[in-house]
Structures are given as structure tokens and as C-alpha cells.
Amino acid sequence: MVNNAAIVNEGSGWQRVIAINLTAVIVGTKLAAAHMRKDKGGKGGRIVSTLSVAGLVQSHMTPVYCATKHGVRAYITGLCKDPTRPDQGIEYAMIAPDAVDTPMFQSVDSNRVLFWDELKDEMKRRMMKPQAVGEAFLQLLRSDVINGAILQVDIQGKTFRHMECVNDGVTFDPSKAF
């Protein structure tokens, strides 16, 4: 199951950004896990959530969007450490792209995004094609163990990180997965 939908513009109100980017991830994950868990008759599986560099760093870019991505990281990190998770047979992981050339980026409302004039050139310099994220996603799914992983994707390439080690450069070691 993949939690991917999100919005960045606050045109309909910042509460809507929280509803779609964070509340819906929690609701969807609960529904999926209840269906998937092996200890309740399901087949187990993987739940991957699309984060963002905005969920790894503190930035002055649109702060509500940033808060929702940090919230997703905290929520999913908690689930991946649940002591009953191995019996449930569910793995949790995230993928954290830098700027990607998608309708989200193209539809930024420059009147509503603080510092957009300052940020847009920097973001265009770092911009990746969506295919780069798709390839990284497949790499994540092909890995034998993914619970506790964040796959960070930027123009430098891809880095697997442990959820708790996003800032100190520690890369993902499956034997240390939760």
C-alpha cells in the first residue's frame, strides 16, 4: 500500500493541507494495516509513504507542508518500532525525494508560498525527473528488508537511511531494521 497523495498550496486553507497530507495518511495506514496484518488473517505486506526532503530538514519553505511531512515521518517511525509488528507481518518504509518536476511543482501559487521568488531558482537547479523517483521506488520494493528505511532521492543519487538517522549520515543496514 502506498501513501502518496499530497498538496502544497494552501489555497483552500492550511487545515486542508494537514487533512490530506497527514490525517489521510494515518487513516489510510490504519485501514490498510487492519486488512493486511497476518495475526488477524491477512497476508502481511509493505506500506510505503512518500515523504519529502521537507520531512527531513527544518526549512523556511511553506511551513505547514513541512510540518505534515515531519508528522508522517514521526507516525510511520512509531509504527515501524511497534513490538507487535513482526507478528503482523507488515513492513513500513518511506521515500523522501528532493524537488521533482510534477504538476505539484508547476502549480505552486507564488502569491501564497512564502519566499517563492527566493526558492524557485534553487529548486529548479535541484529538480529531478519523476522517473528518478520511480526507479528509486522500485529499488526500495526489491530490497529484502525495508522496515525502518527512508530512501532519500536527490540529484546526487539515492541514499538508504534509517528513520532515526536522517541527519547524521548513517545509511540503512537491514540487519539493524526494527
Ligand X SMILES: CCCCC/C=C\C=C\C(=O)C/C=C\C/C=C\CCCC(=O)O
Ligand Y SMILES: NC(=O)C1=CN([C@@H]2O[C@H](COP(=O)(O)OP(=O)(O)OC[C@H]3O[C@@H](n4cnc5c(N)ncnc54)[C@H](O)[C@@H]3O)[C@@H](O)[C@H]2O)C=CC1
**Site of interaction with ligand X (CB under 6 A):** 8, 52-54, 57, 59, 61-62, 98-99, 104-105, 108, 113, 116, 119, 123
Q: Where on the chain is the footprint of ligand Y (CB under 6 A)? A: 4-7, 20, 50, 52, 97, 99-100, 102-105
Name the region of 7 (left: φ>0; alpha: ψ -120 to 50; beta: rest): beta
**Partner whose binding site includes residue 68, from ligand X, ligand Y, none (CB under 5 to 8 Å by kind):** none
- How far, in Å, CA of 65 to CA of 176, rounded? 31
Q: Are 141 and 42 in contact (CB under 8 A)?
A: no
- How far, in Å, CA of 178 to CA of 14, rounded? 34
Closer residue to ligand X (CB): 147 or 152: 152
**Partner whose binding site includes residue 4, from ligand Y, ligand X, none (CB under 5 to 8 Å by kind):** ligand Y
| Per-position DSSP letters for 53-101, written without gaps between them | GGGTS--SS-HHHHHHHHHHHHHHHHHHT-TTHHHHTEEEEEEEE--B-
CB of 62 to ligand X, least distance (A): 4
- How far, in Å, CA of 16 to CA of 106, rounded? 19
CB of 147 to ligand Y, least distance (A): 20
CB of 130 to ligand Y, least distance (A): 7
Residue-wise burial string across 91-119, b where 16 or more C-beta atoms lie within 10 A, e elsewhere: bbbbbbbbbbeeeeeeebeeeebeeeeeb
Closer residue to ligand X (CB): 136 or 177: 136
CB of 2 to ligand X, least distance (A): 16
Closer residue to ligand X (CB): 47 or 72: 72
- For residue 136, give the amino acid letter: A
**Partner whose binding site includes residue 91, from ligand X, ligand Y, none (CB under 5 to 8 Å by kind):** none
**Partner whose binding site includes residue 49, from ligand Y, ligand X, none (CB under 5 to 8 Å by kind):** none
